[in-house]
Amino acid sequence: MSQSSEFRPGQPLLLRGGTVLPMDETRQVLTGADVLVVDGRIAAVGHDLEVPEGTAVIDATDGIVMPGMIDTHRHMWQTAMRGYGADWTLTQYFVWYYLESGKLFRPEDVHAGNLLAAIEAIDAGVTTVVDWSHGLQTVDHADAAVDALQSVPGRFVLAYGNIQQPPAEWTGTPEFRDFVSRRITGDDMLGFQLAFDVTGDPAFPEKPAFEVARELGVPVTTHAGVWGATGDDGIRLMHDHGFMTPETVYVHAASLSADSYHRIAATGGSVSVSTESEQSAGQGYPPTWAIRAHGIPVSLSMDTSVWWSGDLFSAMRTTLGADRSREHLQAQANGDTVTHASLRADQVVAWATRGGASALGRDDLGSLEPGKKADLVLIKNEHSPVSFPLLNPYGHVAFQAQRGDVHTVVVGGRVVKHDHRLVGVDLAAARHEIERTVEHLRSSLGEEGWLKGMNPDVPETKVLDNPYTYTDYRSGSTHGG
Ligand SMILES: [Zn+2]
């Protein structure tokens, strides 16, 4: 055995002596336990494991070993605008990206955003991200998106989208088909979905795009239940036409009726909850309280770094807070007192790991069990006063830990971060790309436009009725008539 920060490709790996959260069915917690990785998979989890000759050892003492986290909805291209829209509402986001400035992004700008977002993800222990990539105005943009994802040693799912065209249009081109056959090759590290929204227009203009997804055999992910944009009409159309399937991922699902939740539950789909986004942008109240009641599976997501950071610690923390906040508020409005919280810390850790795996149909990810792919995280920070005592490991992950505590990250058996440092990642090159993108956008918008963009006015358009330019449909369900 060797204790070193140099890891050879294919070398067996042992994380020794940690508090292990396998996130299996039993929710057991193992203390002083080892996790052995051989040939890219979890070989064993337990105490005092025998290891093969030449195994690299990482000391996990005083740390927590858990599955890599999975984000099921992140617009990675928008990371090039990190923090720019911190004070936006959803309406202002639509104005800036959908109606005005989203079309300024060139393929190299999508590359820059994706590259930085991908690096940010693995650094934070998010080993799988669904890149909800709706800035793909041309196939060149899509190639750039994939090039960036494939240059970073994380696991990604390209959810192909394009807010500048009707879904029926961009999914129907020969260039799109050619892209799919060239770039989506069954690579274990790169999954594929179609990403588009359903406005609720009774003409159902999105139907041909669903048919393409069905023909290609790929899941659809859709922003559903977004106040001001998508609502029950869209769910009903999808259901009536048989396009609600178990692999469909409904993002937000925050402003839907019980009828829509029943349809999602009955067809086996799952909801990607972006609590920080819902709280701040206005899609509706973070819906875990309702989704739990309907027995719909949940995964977590961060949505976009144009507002928030791309780590799932904040997603777990804020989801627990929002769920409990509503539970207390509702009880107190009735003169009651909540004595035991319904949503517990182990549940949000499960949503951040196995919940994501399940949403993506990846039963080989999301838990530390023999035979599963070795995507895992060691949370450990000897220099942090917050690292001890470690009394409630799930609570520690959800409420105490943060991205700076991510000590080691392993994806498919490969060490991509160790001792708090990324391994084999050129952050300087990513910074250079981002600088060029910011320069391009800033000079295109002009200094005044750039500053105004942080608090844009709503133009005299239909944006308050729906942000999609391919239909004039106005939904009473999202605008009170
Ligand atoms: Zn989104």
For position 480, what pLDDT does the model report?
Answer: 52
Mean pLDDT of the region 423-440: 97
For position 462, what pLDDT does the model report?
Answer: 65
Tens digit of each residue's pLDDT (9 = 90 or more) over 167-200:
999 999 999 999 999 999 999 999 999 999 999 9
**Does 1 have pLDDT greater than 50?**
no
Delimit the domains of the chain by residue range. Answer: 13-67+377-420, 69-359
Task: Tell me how far the alpha carbon of residue 109 is from its chain's centroid.
Answer: 20
For position 271, what pLDDT does the model report?
Answer: 98
Residue 458 DSSP label: P
Q: How far is the CA of 226 from the centre of ligand 1 (A)?
A: 10
Strand partners, 56: 2, 13
How many angstroms separate the CA atoms of 315 and 303, rounded?
10
Fold matches, 13-67+377-420 and 69-359: no
| Nearest-10 crossing angle of helices 107-123, 427-452 | 120
The reply to whether CATH 3.20.20.140 applies to domain 69-359 is: yes
For position 2, what pLDDT does the model report?
Answer: 45
Name the maximum alpha-carbon separation found in the chain. 70
Where residue 304 falls (left for φ over 0; alpha for ψ -120 to 50; beta otherwise) is beta
Tens digit of each residue's pLDDT (9 = 90 or more) over 371-393:
999 999 999 999 999 999 999 99
59 burial level (CB within 10 Å; 0-12, 13-18, 19+): middle
- pLDDT band per the 50, 70, 90 thresholds, residue 470: confident
Q: How far is the CA of 354 from the centre of ligand 1 (A)?
A: 21
**Does 242 have pLDDT greater than 50?**
yes
**Does 222 have pLDDT greater than 80?**
yes
Tens digit of each residue's pLDDT (9 = 90 or more) over 432-441:
999 999 999 9
Task: Tell me how far the alpha carbon of residue 238 is from its chain's centroid.
Answer: 23
Q: How far is the CA of 65 from the centre of ligand 1 (A)?
A: 30
For position 248, what pLDDT does the model report?
Answer: 98
- The environment of the single-atom ion ligand 1, i.e. residues with CB closer than 5 A, is 303
Q: How far is the CA of 157 from the centre of ligand 1 (A)?
A: 15
Average per-residue pLDDT for the chain? 95
Q: How far is the CA of 128 from the centre of ligand 1 (A)?
A: 16
Q: Are 210 and 243 in contact (CB under 8 A)?
A: yes
Q: How far is the CA of 277 from the centre of ligand 1 (A)?
A: 8
For position 4, what pLDDT does the model report?
Answer: 47
pTM to 2 decimal places = 0.97
Q: How far is the CA of 304 from the centre of ligand 1 (A)?
A: 7
Tokens of 273: 């909850």
Q: How far is the CA of 250 from the centre of ligand 1 (A)?
A: 10
Q: How far is the CA of 167 from the centre of ligand 1 (A)?
A: 16
Mean pLDDT of the region 49-55: 95
Q: How far is the CA of 479 from the centre of ligand 1 (A)?
A: 20
Mean pLDDT of the region 326-335: 98
Mean pLDDT of the region 4-16: 86
Tens digit of each residue's pLDDT (9 = 90 or more) over 276-319:
999 999 999 999 999 999 999 999 999 999 999 999 999 999 99
Q: How far is the CA of 301 from the centre of ligand 1 (A)?
A: 9
**Does 476 have pLDDT greater than 80?**
no
For position 326, what pLDDT does the model report?
Answer: 97
Q: How far is the CA of 420 from the centre of ligand 1 (A)?
A: 29
How many angstroms separate the CA atoms of 108 and 106, rounded?
5
Tens digit of each residue's pLDDT (9 = 90 or more) over 130-144:
999 999 999 999 999
CATH of 13-67+377-420, one of 3.30.70.100, 2.30.40.10, 3.20.20.70, 3.30.70.890: 2.30.40.10
Q: How far is the CA of 223 from the centre of ligand 1 (A)?
A: 6
**Does 3 have pLDDT greater than 70?**
no
